[in-house]
Structure 1
Amino acid sequence: MPYAALSDVTLTRGRRGTVVLRAIPRRGADPVLAAAAGQLKEREDPYLLVLPADKETLADYYAQELRSAVTERGPAGRFLVDPPPVPRAFKAWDGAATFDGETVTFTWFWSGASTAKYATGDQRYELAELEGVEWHAPEGASGSMRLKVRGRRMPLDPNKDPASVVFSLGYGATHQSLPFAAAVLAALGSSGGSGTPEAVEASKSPEAPAAPRWNEVTELIARLGELRDAGVLSEEEFQAKKTELLSRL
């Protein structure tokens, strides 16, 4: 992180004889944090360092030195931290996503894609067609990444949106899907598109995700059953996820 992107540095007591050194970027300076939109858990914070308590004096020295380098604390008008490099690719539950720096491609899996998606065929989106990216953190059998296509109304259900890929257990993990979303956002900004920090804030959907429908839940349970039968999930994990999905109805 360049000093220009730094807003503050804190040092706090951690758990079990540790101290926590945390660098806090200016809002909108880092494309990864912009794409995450506050959804990262503390253990996933890329700017958090846990140290043994006997390093507190040294950590405090560095915290003070870094704080003295801060020149601007307000929101950044552009991304100041280098984005994840391209090309990038990851596997979602319903398809493979690739990005070569200019084009995002979704290639559907017959085993995971909905009938609506599979019928549309594989999708290719040039940067000029896009105005943003929405990343919803993977959590159990949920989560998704949605491309916001100019002039197109998005279905609420990402399973039916050909500009979205959905996550599930073992598919679309944070360390794969979030850098992908961040790379697309940064490319949109550098190409003169809408991938600036202000556009990211403005593009966030105010609506809460729609509750899953019965047929979607039963489809997810069937997929979880396949993972259990394949030995990926234990019976206990399968039953716990099944109960969680049914509770959403």
Structure 2
Amino acid sequence: MGDVLAGIHSTWEFDTDSVLIRFERGIRTPKLFHVLAERRIPYEALSTVEMAPGGKRGTVALRMVPREGADPLLEVADGQLKEASDPYRLVLPAERELLADYYATELRSALGPDADKPAERHLVEAPPPPLNFKAYDGKASFDGKSVTFRWFWTGASSAKWRAGDQSFSVDELEGVEWRSPEVFQGHLRLRRHAGDGPQDSGDAPEAEADQDPAAVVFGLGYGLVYESLPFAASVLAAVRAAEPAMALETAHHGDSRRRQRDSAERMGRADPADIAERIRHLGELHEGGLLTDDEFSAKKAELLAEL
């Protein structure tokens, strides 16, 4: 197509095989768009294209509908995005309806032969690592190979302090659960393969996110963690990409390769001031009766070993 269609919060640039969406960073632009910056959507990732009235009077909306499973961002969002934050929706003034309808027709003609079928793999690239964001009870980081949770002593539960900072390799995971920061009990939880963690064994009930060392919580009133969705999408894409290699590895070696790694070893040499602060917090938990003498001694020794 080779043309550009400018909307209110984004601009679509049409190429021969894809459309590049560039998001604005205005005050009224949804914050998620600020984080995404831009996304390239291959036409083969689309199911159909729709035209509808915009949310405000005097506007129209052009929306691309992706195929099921084509975009890791929408897969992990699982229908939780509000209409205004839909990255596939372009809002235009009503006087540009004819122009928008023309592009809708052009897009429909460019759809692939499998547009009506679920995608067998992700066709839209996830935001590339490294990525990180701060939640209410910890900082999450992803380098492309492993996810690390480092707990904040001001927000993390005693259960997470007992478990210590966590690191999960991609091949330990089978998925990612994202619950929007805009709702009660919003969180990001890593789904491990069955048997890889205490919450994945037997018929034991699943722990609340604030008690689960494989999850970070957002917290009402803490602020909307807009970076968490692209983060989750990037992790999910890496998990899906690792699945064929894992299946081959299991077939040849009979080894799941799904053991949790020592987080201190991954993170390298620790900051002495940070270690001292964490030991102080452990002491408070011990004095409050939340840690036994043995638990306190063991965790203190682990922290000192990081120096």
**1:47-79 superposed Cα distances (whole Å, 9 cap, x missing partner):** 001100010010000000001111222100100
- Equivalent position of 1:114 in the other structure: 157
C-alpha distance in structure 2 between counterparts of 1:188 and 1:23, whole Å: 26
Q: Greater Rg, structure 1 or structure 2?
A: 2
In the alignment, the residues of structure 1 paired with residue 226 and residue 207 of structure 2 have an alpha-carbon distance, to the nearest angstrom, of 25
> Quick one: which of 125, 128, 151 aligns to 1:85?
128
Secondary structure of the corresponding residue to residue 90 of structure 1: strand
Answer whether contact 2:135 2:225 (CA < 8 A) is retained: no
Would you say 1:95 and 2:135 are equivalent positions? no
Is 1:30 aligned to residue 71 of structure 2? Answer: yes
Partner Cα separation in structure 1 for residue 106 and residue 136 of structure 2: 45
Q: How many residues align?
A: 195
Q: CA deviation at 1:131?
A: 1.1
Which stretches in structure 1 are left out of the alignment for 5+ residues? 196-249
Name which of 221, 229, 236 aligns with 1:185. Answer: 236
Report the residue type matching 1:51 in the other structure.
Answer: L
User: Taking structure 1 as reference, are residues 172 and 3 closer, same or farther at Cα in structure 2, changes over 3 Å only?
Assistant: farther
Structure-2 residue corresponding to 1:65: 106
Q: Structure 1 residues 12, 81: closer, same or farther in 2, change over 3 A?
A: same
1:219 aligned partner: none
Aligned partner of 2:259 in structure 1 is none
Which of 45, 68, 76 is equivalent to 1:5? Answer: 45
Give CA deviations for 1:26-63 in whole Å, capped at 9, x if unaligned.
01000000010111111110000110001001000000
Which of 76, 93, 112 is the matching residue for 2:119? 76
Normalising by structure 2, what TM-score? 0.61
SS at match of 1:43: helix
Matched to 2:170, the amino acid is L
Cross-structure match for 1:131: 174
Contact kept, 8 Å, 1:31 with 1:83, in 2: the verdict is yes
Residues 193 and 34 (structure 1 numbering): CA distance in 2 closer, same or farther, change over 3 Å?
farther
CA distance in 1, matches of 2:152, 2:168: 18
- Return closer, same or farther for 1:25/1:140 CA change in 2, 3 Å cut-off: closer
1:229-244 equivalences under 5 Å are none
Task: Decide whether the 8 Å contact of 1:166 with 1:172 is kept in 2.
Answer: no
Whole-angstrom distance in 2 between the partners of 1:34 and 1:140: 18
Check conservation: 2:218, 2:225, Cα contact below 8 A: no
Bigger Cα displacement from structure 2, 71-80 vs 100-109: 71-80
In structure 2, give the amino acid aligned to 1:114. Answer: S
1:164 corresponds to: 215
Structure 1 counterpart SS, 2:103: helix
Change (3 A) 1:34 1:193: farther
What is the rounded CA distance, in whole Å, between the counterparts of 2:245 and 2:182 in structure 1? 28
Distance 1:189 1:40 in 2: 22
Contact 1:128 1:193 in 2 (8 A): no
| Structure 1 residue 12, shift from structure 2 partner | 1.0
Give the CA deviation at 1:136: 0.6
Sequence identity (%): 56
Q: Tell me, which stretches of 5 or more residues in structure 2 are unaligned?
A: 1-40, 201-205, 247-307
* Higher-RCO chain (CA-CA 8 Å, sequence separation at least 6): 1
Q: Partners in 1 of 2:85 and 2:60 — Cα distance?
A: 17
Preserved contact between residue 133 and residue 148 of structure 1 (Cα < 8 Å): yes
Per mean C-alpha deviation after superposition, the further-off stretch among 173-182 and 77-86 is 173-182
In the alignment, structure 1 residue 143 sits paired with structure 2 residue 186: yes
Check the 8 A contact 1:158/1:165 in 2, yes or no. Answer: yes
Q: Is the 8 A contact 1:108 1:122 kept in 2?
A: yes
Deviates further, 162-171 or 52-61: 162-171
TM-score w.r.t. the length of structure 1 is: 0.74
CA 117–193 in structure 1, closer or farther in 2 if over 3 Å, else same: farther
* Matching residue's letter, 2:123: L
Give the Cα–Cα distance (whole angstroms) in 2 for the partners of residues 117 and 193 of structure 1.
32
Helix, strand or coil: the match of 2:230? Answer: helix
| 1:245 aligned partner | none
